[in-house]
Amino acid sequence: MANDGLSRRGFFANAAAISAGVALAAPAAGEAAADPGAVEFVLNGKPVSLTVDPRVTLLDALRERLRLTGTKKGCDRGQCGACTVHVDGRRVVSCLTLAATLRGKHVTTIESLADGDQLHPVQQAFVDCDGLQCGFCTPGQIMSATAVIAEGHAHTDAEIQEAMSGNICRCGAYPNIVAAIRQAGGA
């Protein structure tokens, strides 16, 4: 094995020094120094500015900083779908989405689906079809269901089941959830 004169420890020390230099570099002339922890995005149609640690997830920012508790913390590993929200119209699990990645994006949570006392059609379908039992997974199910319908994946039961496979209901309300999506999607 060839030795180029740089040990593993030396390589990592150099990489750390270079990274620190890049992170600490001063802004160019005429540029304002941006707060690296400041994140500005649109949440449920309203501009939001948060200062967050780069490791904070969207789920934690929503629940703990913005007090929007409709988005649930289930597994905290991206496996159950209870924390599903929309980012720029696409469904994401907020427990695996870093809040720092939201700059300039649009985030939609369960809190913004209803219009006052008027439920969103998917919410109403979940009520009509008894698509919930304990209700814990329901916000994530509804957010995924609205995306499934918008994506055009709500034509058959098999298609709905496949598209909703990232959302777990521990109560087993799956047939009613599929019926609700069919109703809301017009299938």
Q: What is the pLDDT of residues 52-93, one digit of tens each?
A: 999 999 999 999 999 999 999 999 999 999 999 999 999 999
- Judge if 107 and 42 occupy the same domain: yes
- Judge if 51 and 98 occupy the same domain: yes
Residue 37's pLDDT band, with cuts at 50, 70 and 90, is confident
What's the token pair of residue 94? 């907020």
Q: What local confidence, expressed as pLDDT, does residue 186 receive? A: 82
Q: What local confidence, expressed as pLDDT, does residue 26 receive? A: 42
Strand order in the sheet with 106-108: 46-51, 38-43, 106-108, 84-87, 90-93
User: How many other CB atoms sit within 10 Å of the CB of residue 182?
Assistant: 18
Q: Supply the mean pLDDT for the chain.
A: 87
Q: What local confidence, expressed as pLDDT, does residue 160 receive? A: 96
Q: What local confidence, expressed as pLDDT, does residue 11 receive? A: 53
Half-sphere exposure of 185 (CA within 13 A, CB side): 24
3-state SS assignment for residue 90: strand
Overall average pLDDT of the 148-162 stretch: 95
Q: What local confidence, expressed as pLDDT, does residue 21 receive? A: 41
Which residues are within 8 A (CB) of 32 and not within 5 positions of it... i.e. 6 or more apart?
none
Residue type for position 58? L
Task: Flag whether 180 is in a domain.
Answer: yes
Q: What local confidence, expressed as pLDDT, does residue 5 receive? A: 57
Q: With 80 as the cut, is the pLDDT of residue 7 above it?
A: no
Residue 24's pLDDT band, with cuts at 50, 70 and 90, is very low
Task: Flag whether 103 is in a domain.
Answer: yes
Give CA–CA dist 138/135, Å, rounded: 5
Rounded to two decimals, the pTM is 0.79
pLDDT, tens digit, for every residue of 123-138?
A: 999 999 999 989 999 9
Give me the number of domains the chain comprises: 2
Task: Flag whether 3 is in a domain.
Answer: no
pLDDT, tens digit, for every residue of 25-36?
A: 344 455 454 566
- The phi and psi torsions of 14 (rounded to 5 degrees) equal -65, -45
- Judge if 160 and 136 occupy the same domain: yes
User: How many other CB atoms sit within 10 Å of the CB of residue 106?
Assistant: 14
Task: Flag whether 1 is in a domain.
Answer: no
The range of the structural domain enclosing residue 79 comes to 38-111
Beta strands in the chain (DSSP E): 38-43, 46-51, 84-87, 90-93, 106-108
Q: What local confidence, expressed as pLDDT, does residue 67 receive? A: 97
- Judge if 98 and 52 occupy the same domain: yes
- Single out the residue of 62, 63, 59 nearest to residue 95, CA to CA: 59
